[in-house]
Structure 1
């Protein structure tokens, strides 16, 4: 869970301006640091998490009126992916990995949508938790995910970061096949 005062990830802040207007999902949103950023950028944000307390703090905080909170445990037995194919302008996922969701998650991205994903990778066990390989990305796993989904990789990193704490992470920003980078306003 993310603390409500925690700043949005630099990776998410860098790529979020590429997301076109429409519904944007902050998956496993925790305290809502990315949901608030996305709402401030003018998006309709769906903040999904299984933690009712975290969702209540989002509703009570800054931009809470602009964020639709959804309490849902995607890992519960029989849980179905709740979003239609090609329905989301953007999807943001940080510090969360549940591999069975990945194909459905990518299928929900609009043809001109943006996926921003950042989570822990193999090698993080030397820094602490998570250390279970089930929750750590394999080398270039996010690149493979984007390729299998027919997405175009705009940015990828795999390495050690120092902030907010030392960790090994993998990050990708990928666009749907209809995304026109030529019209994007972004300082890369």
Structure 2
């Protein structure tokens, strides 16, 4: 499981499920990317990826790629991407609540946020266990309140070949165009 948290494992099933909402050639930001499991996947699909993490050793795993890497501690430094905007933002296994406002502001109109992290209950089965690192029930929805939510899950995931058992919340939101009608269709992928 440590490999998945730090970006050495396979991409998240949640991220893979929602890739169809991210257009080819999209400008994508991978926040807290670790060694770049999602950044590498998105780059292989033709996206222009910027990957940010505070760990230089993790970022070094992407040094021989066309991925733009930035070492930054988002918990100690100002948001480094203002006024840059992205077609999509991916963030998994990371929670720093103050980053959500600038992160959402960095989405272009029509941009997609794909987010997945640990939630309350995780402390009963493993790490992380500190409440500051765990979402409260439905908190992901509140953090993404200005986005159109097209998918949300909040629950327990039993152990699988890819992950240890865990409590998670997952959300996909779209920053809709101001003049966009609510009948906009965002296709769902079969499970």
Give me the TM-score of the superposition, normalised by structure 1. 0.88
- Judge conservation of contact 2:94–2:117 (CA < 8 Å) in 1: yes
Deviation at 1:74, TM superposition (A): 1.1
RMSD of aligned Cα (Å)? 1.8
- Superimposed CA distance per residue, residues 29-53 of structure 1 (whole angstroms, 9 cap, x where no aligned partner): 0011000111111110001001111
Output aligned runs, 1:107-126, within 5 Å: 107-126=105-124
Mapped pair 1:74 → 2:74? yes
Aligned to 2:45: 41
Output aligned runs, 1:78-89, within 5 Å: 79-85=77-83, 87-89=85-87
Report SS of the residue matched to 2:114.
Answer: strand
Task: Answer 1 or 2: which has greater helix percent.
Answer: 1
Counterparts of 1:96 and 1:36, CA distance in 2: 18
Q: Which runs of 5+ in 1 are unaligned?
A: none
- Judge conservation of contact 2:148–2:173 (CA < 8 Å) in 1: yes
Q: Which runs of 5+ in 2 are unaligned?
A: none
Counterparts of 2:58 and 2:134, CA distance in 1: 24
Aligned to 1:154: 150
Aligned to 1:19: 22
- Judge conservation of contact 1:86–1:111 (CA < 8 Å) in 2: no
Count of residues in correspondence between the two structures: 178
Counterparts of 1:186 and 1:128, CA distance in 2: 31
- Which of 4, 7, 10 in structure 2 is aligned with 1:7? 10
How has the CA–CA distance of structure 1 residues 181 and 85 changed in structure 2, closer, same or farther, with 3 Å as cutoff? farther
Report SS of the residue matched to 1:116.
Answer: strand
Deviation at 1:186, TM superposition (A): 5.7
- Which of 69, 92, 112 in structure 1 is aligned with 2:90? 92
- Superimposed CA distance per residue, residues 95-139 of structure 1 (whole angstroms, 9 cap, x where no aligned partner): 000111111111111110000000000010011111100000011
How has the CA–CA distance of structure 1 residues 186 and 155 changed in structure 2, closer, same or farther, with 3 Å as cutoff? closer
Aligned to 2:32: 28
How has the CA–CA distance of structure 1 residues 18 and 86 changed in structure 2, closer, same or farther, with 3 Å as cutoff? farther
- Judge conservation of contact 1:86–1:107 (CA < 8 Å) in 2: no
Aligned to 1:187: 189
Counterparts of 1:158 and 1:86, CA distance in 2: 31
Deviation at 1:82, TM superposition (A): 1.2
